[in-house]
Structure 1
């Protein structure tokens, strides 16, 4: 008997894709894709949002209208967008410090145990859709995995709570969507969050263009409110003020 490539499970349309992955298409334009090994990528095409985790959460990606966050085992790369002009800011966290700059600034500022100082040495951050690398690289996918994905569609569990919250379980991954569409991505507030043992991050952008982005990892933190950027390392803080000037906090 031929195993179907698509099933309707609760409010989700579940598909074994031609890429050799399992895809759950949920209401509110939310899609969750999972490899056979367990890496996860969540997207909302309407809001242009993507989030991805590798299997052990040592790598993650968050792409959002207000900025991007790319976490690897060695660094965290952050880019935040200027909501008024084009003075976008970039930050790179390292195990023993951080550096940051802006589009209008020719200097790079470093924060570490020695304090805050400037350098002319630039740093690069990823600019492509790195959520695809986090999701695919090192994990089984491709046409040779399509048959196995079809076989596993029947193993997906679904249940609904008294509050009409729908949940799906595939392998050890549980996907939950509330009645208002919140599935880590909320269609009302354009908000997304990433929480793992290695990083806490969030990004949001409201209808009146008020945005925020925050990242926390160990002794590092970055906060951005759409105008001001705060970069903190081990209680030493600097960044850019509302006018785009370097500030000590």
Structure 2
């Protein structure tokens, strides 16, 4: 009986598992690492002392490197330098132009031009629909010129001109007091605030000129001449041209599956679809501008304001800043603020809603 007790019987599967574990430990792949031994380095992280040789490069990495090394950005051709700023667009042709002030102008198809300054101000001209959009370098000022009206936003204020076919244009201003509005044929100015609608005294800026140039160059208030670019506030010179050319050389371009062209130029993203729709975004689309030549639509979006305009079936001009609104459809003109609404109806009469 004593001899029988001294015998130890092990299951065959236990012996197999132990042997396999020992093999794993001896090969360094098991859990038998001593506390004093060094931890093996992860092979998923590359270091200068990696287990993978520096000479080993996968075909996928090699293709990416060669593609980025030999690829050049196909900007709209031809690329030219001009001695003057581009004001008119007679005889429009495609291409890329650099002005003496360092402004890069991309002339895209469907007669749309995108201007970008060295400090990332943006101006878009939709010549087919008569639309101009602008955003200054800091994003604090923006503008929209549209056949339905004009919008000028500067800081916390927004001024609006709604164009009426019979000549009775409407005017509105969004500011800290509320929303002021009037019309050419109205002798009074009305204010919609938290108390309702009442008369007030107010003035409105002259938006008849192309004030988008003043927004783009960040120098001219509305009403001043935007064509005098020789003033000291606007720098120019060959060094600005050289900087613009270097930006063009560093531009990125790709085409999506639906045929949309995309550029990244001076940290500004530009895209144009096959039907001509142009979108321009900055600061991860915190600031965005859009226009289309097919239906005459346009929009400007920023933390300060959102406005849209269209010549399509839903012809309109719309502006929103916070809880303040303005909507114009060519017949009725309505402003809203603090739960109150007022405006002019189809008969050009004041109406409080």
Scaled by the length of structure 2, what TM-score is found?
0.64
Shift of 1:150: 1.9
What is the CA–CA distance in structure 2 between the aligned matches of 1:38 and 1:19, rounded to whole Å?
Answer: 13
Contact preservation (8 Å) 2:74, 2:253: no
- Give 2:140's match in structure 1, choosing from 53, 58, 66: 58
- Give 1:142's match in structure 2, choosing from 209, 212, 236: 236
The structure carrying a bigger strand percent of its residues is 1
Map 1:145-164 → 2, pairs under 5 A: 145-164=240-259
What is the CA–CA distance in structure 2 between the aligned matches of 1:31 and 1:123, rounded to whole Å?
Answer: 34
Structure 2 alignment gaps of length 5 or more: 1-72, 78-93, 220-232, 279-289
Contact preservation (8 Å) 2:156, 2:304: no
Query: Which one has the largest radius of gyration?
Result: 2
Shift of 1:20: 2.1
SS of 2:292's equivalent in the other structure is coil
The structure carrying a bigger helix percent of its residues is 2
RMSD: 1.9
- The alignment status of 1:192 with 2:192, answered yes or no, reads no
What is the CA–CA distance in structure 2 between the aligned matches of 1:143 and 1:88, rounded to whole Å?
Answer: 42
- Give 1:14's match in structure 2, choosing from 96, 119, 138: 96
Map 1:60-209 → 2, pairs under 5 A: 60-83=142-165, 85-119=166-200, 121-127=201-207, 128-137=209-218, 141-144=235-238, 145-183=240-278, 184-206=290-312
Map 1:216-227 → 2, pairs under 5 A: 216-227=320-331
What is the CA–CA distance in structure 1 between the aligned matches of 2:120 and 2:156, rounded to whole Å?
Answer: 22
What is the CA–CA distance in structure 2 between the aligned matches of 1:162 and 1:46, rounded to whole Å?
Answer: 26
Choose between structure 1 and 2 for higher RCO, CA contacts under 8 A separated by at least 6 residues: 1
Scaled by the length of structure 1, what TM-score is found?
0.90
Structure 1 alignment gaps of length 5 or more: 1-6
User: What is the aligned partner in structure 2 of residue 212 from structure 1?
Assistant: 316
The verdict on how the C-alpha distance between 1:141 and 1:50 changes in structure 2, with shifts beyond 3 A counting, is farther
Shift of 1:141: 4.8
Shift of 1:140: 6.4
Number of aligned positions between the proteins = 239
